[in-house]
Each structure stands twice: as C-alpha cells, then as structure tokens.
C-alpha cells in the first residue's frame, strides 16, 4: 500500500512538472501593441513600432515562463540573461493588424502570437551563458528607449513649429530617427540569427544595420563575433576595432576581439583585450574564462587557474569554466583534479563534448586508455565534427598498440580539419611504428609545413627539407 501511495505522489509530481503552463509544452502568448503615427513619420516604421510594442508585452510573459523553467532545472541565469533568452526564443507571427484614425494621427494596431518552445531552452540557455551577447542586448534596448523618447519630443516640436524651414529641419530629424530605429531592428534580427547559429544570415542582418547606422557599435560588435564563428578573423578584428572606435567602453567588443586574437595564436594581444573588458566590468565571467584559456595556451597554468576560479566565483554553474580549469590542471600534471573539474562540468552540462574530451586526456595521461576511449567516444557522439576528439582517441589507440584504429581516427581528424598539424604528426608516428617510413616522412613533412616543431626537428636531424 505504501509503495502504491508513493507511486501516486510521483505521478502527480510528474503531471505538475510537465503540465504546468510554461514548463511542459510550448507556451503560446497572445499580445497586442499600438503606435500613433504623427506628421513626418512613415507608415512602414510606425507599423514596426506597433509590432515592437506587442513583442515587448509578450516578452514580459515569456521572461516569466523562461525564469520558471530555468529555475526548475537549476540553470541559475541572471535576469538579463533570462531576457536575452526569452527574446531569442520567441517565434512571432502576426494574427491581425489594422489602422484607424485617432486624434493624434493614424493609429497602428497589431495582434501577435509569440511561441516559446521548451525543447530549445536548454541549448539557447547554454549559448547565452557562454557567449557575450548580454551587453549588446541591453544596449540595443537602451537605444530603442532613447529613440522612442526622441521621437515623442520631435513630434511635439513639429506641432509647435512656426516656419516651413523649421518644420523641414524637424522632419529631417524624424527621418534620421526612423533610420536608426530600422538599424536597431536589423541588429535584433542578427542577434537572434547568431544565437540560432545562422551565421551567414546574421552577417547580412548586421551589415544592413551598419549600412543604415555607421555608428552602430553593437552592430559591428555582433558582426565581429559572427565573423569569428565563420573563421574570418581579420574581418572580425576590423569590426571590433570599429565598434571600439565608436564606443571605447563597449566591453563585449574587447572580449570579442580577444577571442579572435586567441584563435590567431596572438595570446598576448588577446590578454590585453580581456584585461580591458575586466577593467570595464569586474564581474564579466566570460572575460575571466577567456583570459584563462589564453594563459593556458601560453603554458601559464597557475594564472589560468586563478582566472577560472574568478569566473566560477562569479558564476558558480559555469560548466565551461570547470572544463577549462580541468584542462589547465592537465597542463600541470594534476590529473585527478582535472577529472574532478570535468565531472563537475558534466554534471552541470551533460552535453559538453569538451568536458568529456578533456577528461579523456586526463585518463589517458594516467594510463587509463580504455576509460579515455569511452570519454572520447562520448565526446564524438556529442560533437561528430570534433577533430580534437578523433585525434585524442587515435592517441589512446596508439598507446594500446591498436595502430590501424589509431590511423583511422587520425584520418577522420584530418578529414574534418585539413590543416591539423598535430594529427599529421601523430599519424606519422603511427606509420613509423608500422615501419612505413615513406608514409611517416610524408606526414611529418606536412606537419612541419603547418608549423609542427617536433616534426620539423625530426626532419632536420635527417637532413630533410619540408
């Protein structure tokens, strides 16, 4: 009888969890917005302003929905992150719209349906926490507020204008304000596309924004981050330079430029940018994490660990910072501490391919190659395009003497990343063990041309060029 009672309670709990509005199924929000168009304004932008007001009304309920959902799952998001997430999740469709004559001018009214789908929350929540989009979002909506206030003032001034010249001057300002509003719309669209990993579309949107408003710091900063994702590092740096030139206090632009410099291997320049971002915002967990990564790449593991500690202190559920600190502990040879950090990262984010990959390295360094291979298998299943995981699993197979399997993994790593110098060198090692010297030499030469110093030294000792 007791077991039946427990089962009933469990079923009630599950029903409440998955049937509670906003937690178990898609939440559909109906909202309305209106805007009164005055003299000098265009109908297209006036209608967009009405739509924006409807979206804001929907966003309030969507934010409450997301906050409830993330609290149940202990995501520990800040209020700003919740708003970014809710905005990114809303899929909006227009149900009805109409125009009517009002005392203040033409009134535009719109009714929308905003849908929030729970299945997308976890992935987007991870993106929001690990990618520097929060500040750009806040500044975007500050711009919207500023433009709205300016427009109301201009409309009053136009009514009170006495001469035709004065009216034309004010109408020109109204036209400029509408142009800036449209630029903001493109920034908002680009940010949503970036979160959805639609990078080509995001670049088009950000470009439209900066064409309309060449002084859009958030537009250039957003496009910088998107170019980074596309691997177009020089373009990304150019955009971040422009964002910083427009707004020297835009922390996201310094952080974004630091990311790009790190990818180019220019770690000192990256650290300078992360330091500037942290100077501007001492609670910028992402910048501490990124600076820690740069220190790890420079072999300064203690400084890296100190930065990861800061990031985790600011954001205790920062899964990426735990796995990165684990990587730094691997660099120090403290493999058990690395495994502990990776365990914590996996508890916080079971979908973290990086945490499994790093833990696999730690197990491999401890000589536990079978456990390492299990972790690499999991990393590859989570991220089939992880060249590093294939390379590392190849190393584990090589240590076990399973040379053919090792070569298969190196082939896969190179197939994903054609300029992967380390994978060529490791495949060279495998062929060398098979006593296939011509193939080993060929791989060492490729690795050497790509900058692998160990391969260069091996060839130099044998008097061979690459």
The CATH number linked to 220 is 1.25.40.10
Cα 123 to the chain's mean position, in Å? 10
Confidence class of residue 401 from pLDDT cuts 50, 70 and 90? very high
* pTM, full prediction: 0.78
Give the Cα separation of 70 and 200 in Å (integer).
Answer: 30
Residue 296 inside a domain? The answer is: no
Are 166 and 263 contained in the same domain? yes
* CA dihedral for 147, 153, 158, 161, sign (positive or negative): negative
Secondary structure percentages of the chain, helix, strand, coil, to 5? 75, 10, 20
Q: Assess whether 136 and 119 both reside in one domain.
A: no
Q: Which of 246, 264, 281 is the last residue of a domain?
A: 281
Q: For residue 395, is it within any domain?
A: no
For residue 289, being part of any structural domain is answered with no
| Domain match, 67 and 21 both | yes
Per-residue pLDDT at 239: 97
What does the pLDDT look like over 22-33, one tens digit per residue?
445 667 889 898
Whether 165 and 126 map to the same domain: the answer is no
Report CA-CA distances (Å) from 275 to 68, 77, 254, 291: 35, 24, 9, 8
Using DSSP bridges, classify how beta strands 105-116 and 91-102 pair: parallel, antiparallel or unpaired.
Answer: antiparallel
Residues of the domain holding 50: 1-130
The reply to whether 139 and 236 lie within a common domain is yes
**pLDDT (tens digit per residue) in 159-191:** 888 898 999 999 999 999 999 999 999 998 998
Q: Across residues 294-299, what is the average pLDDT?
A: 96
C-alpha to C-alpha distance for 169 and 176, rounded to whole angstroms: 11
Nearest CA to 452 out of 427, 430, 416 is that of 427
Based on the domain organization, do 172 and 194 belong to the same domain?
A: yes
Residue 16 pLDDT > 70, yes or no?
no
In a domain, 387, yes or no: no
- Whether residue 58 is contained in a domain is answered as yes
Say if residue 144 is in the same domain as residue 265: yes
Q: Number of folded domains in the chain?
A: 2
Q: What does the radius of gyration of the chain's CA atoms come to, in whole angstroms?
A: 27
Same domain? For 34 and 88 the reply is yes
Residue-by-residue DSSP string for 128-183: HHHSS-HHHHHHHHHHHHHHHHHHHHHHHHHHH--SHHHHHHHHHHHHHHHHHHHH
| 315: DSSP letter | S
**Which tops the pLDDT comparison, 109 or 85?**
109
Among 110, 130, 150, give the residue marking a domain's end.
130
143 and 121 both lie in a single domain: no
Name the helix (H) or strand (E) containing 321: helix 319-331
Binning pLDDT at 50, 70 and 90, where does residue 7 land? very low
Query: Domain end: 80, 98, 130, which one?
Result: 130
Is 262 part of a structural domain of the chain? yes
Whether 330 is in a domain gets the answer: no
137 in the same domain as 44: no
Residue 363 near residue 369 (C-beta atoms within 8 A) = yes
Cα torsion angle, 331, 334, 339, 342, sign: negative
% of residues, the chain, pLDDT over 90: 65
Instruction: Say if 437 falls within a structural domain.
Output: no
> Same domain for 228 and 185?
yes
Same domain assignment for residues 99 and 202:
no
Q: What is the mean pLDDT of residues 61-80?
A: 67
């Amino acid at each position: 009888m007791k077991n039946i009672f427990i089962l009933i309670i469990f079923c009630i709990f599950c029903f409440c969890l998955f049937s509670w509005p906003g937690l178990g199924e898609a939440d559909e929000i109906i909202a309305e917005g209106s805007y009164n168009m005055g003299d000098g304004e265009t109908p297209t932008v006036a209608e967009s302003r009405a739509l924006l007001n409807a979206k804001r009304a929907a966003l309030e309920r969507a934010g409450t929905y997301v906050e409830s959902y993330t609290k149940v799952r202990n995501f520990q998001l800040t209020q700003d992150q919740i708003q970014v997430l809710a905005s990114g999740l809303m899929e909006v469709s227009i149900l009805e719209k109409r125009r009517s004559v009002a005392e203040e001018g033409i009134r535009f009214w719109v009714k929308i349906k905003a849908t929030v789908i729970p299945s997308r929350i976890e992935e987007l929540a991870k993106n929001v926490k690990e990618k520097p989009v929060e500040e750009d979002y806040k500044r975007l909506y500050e711009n919207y507020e500023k433009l709205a206030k300016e427009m109301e003032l201009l409309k009053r001034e136009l009514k009170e204008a006495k001469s035709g010249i004065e009216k034309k001057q004010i109408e020109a300002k109204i036209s400029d304000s509408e142009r800036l509003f449209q630029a903001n719309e493109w920034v908002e669209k680009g940010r949503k596309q970036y979160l959805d990993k639609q990078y080509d579309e995001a670049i088009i949107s950000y470009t439209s924004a900066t064409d309309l408003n060449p002084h859009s710091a958030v537009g250039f900063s957003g496009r910088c981050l998107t170019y980074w994702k596309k691997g177009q590092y020089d373009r990304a740096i150019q955009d971040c330079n422009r964002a910083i030139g427009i707004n020297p206090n835009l922390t996201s632009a310094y952080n974004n430029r630091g990311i790009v410099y790190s990818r180019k291997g220019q770690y000192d320049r990256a650290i300078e940018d992360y330091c500037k971002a942290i100077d501007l915002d001492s609670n910028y967990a992402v910048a501490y994490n990124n600076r820690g990564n740069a220190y790890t790449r420079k072999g300064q593991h203690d400084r890296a660990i100190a930065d990861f500690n800061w990031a985790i202190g600011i954001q205790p559920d920062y899964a990426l910072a735990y796995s990165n600190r684990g990587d730094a502990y691997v660099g120090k040879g403290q493999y058990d501490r690395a495994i502990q950090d990776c365990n914590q990262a996996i508890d916080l984010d079971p979908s973290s391919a990086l945490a499994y990959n790093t833990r696999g390295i730690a197990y491999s360094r401890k000589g536990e190659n079978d456990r390492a291979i299990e972790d690499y298998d999991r990393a590859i299943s989570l991220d089939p395009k992880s060249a590093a995981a294939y390379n590392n699993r190849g190393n584990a197979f090589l240590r076990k003497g399973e040379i053919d399997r090792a070569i298969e993994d190196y082939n896969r790593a190179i197939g994903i990343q054609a300029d992967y110098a380390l994978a060529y060198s490791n495949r060279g090692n495998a062929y060398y063990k098979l006593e296939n010297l011509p193939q080993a030499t060929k791989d060492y030469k490729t690795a050497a041309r790509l900058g692998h110093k160990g391969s260069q030294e091996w060839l130099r000792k044998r008097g061979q060029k690459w």
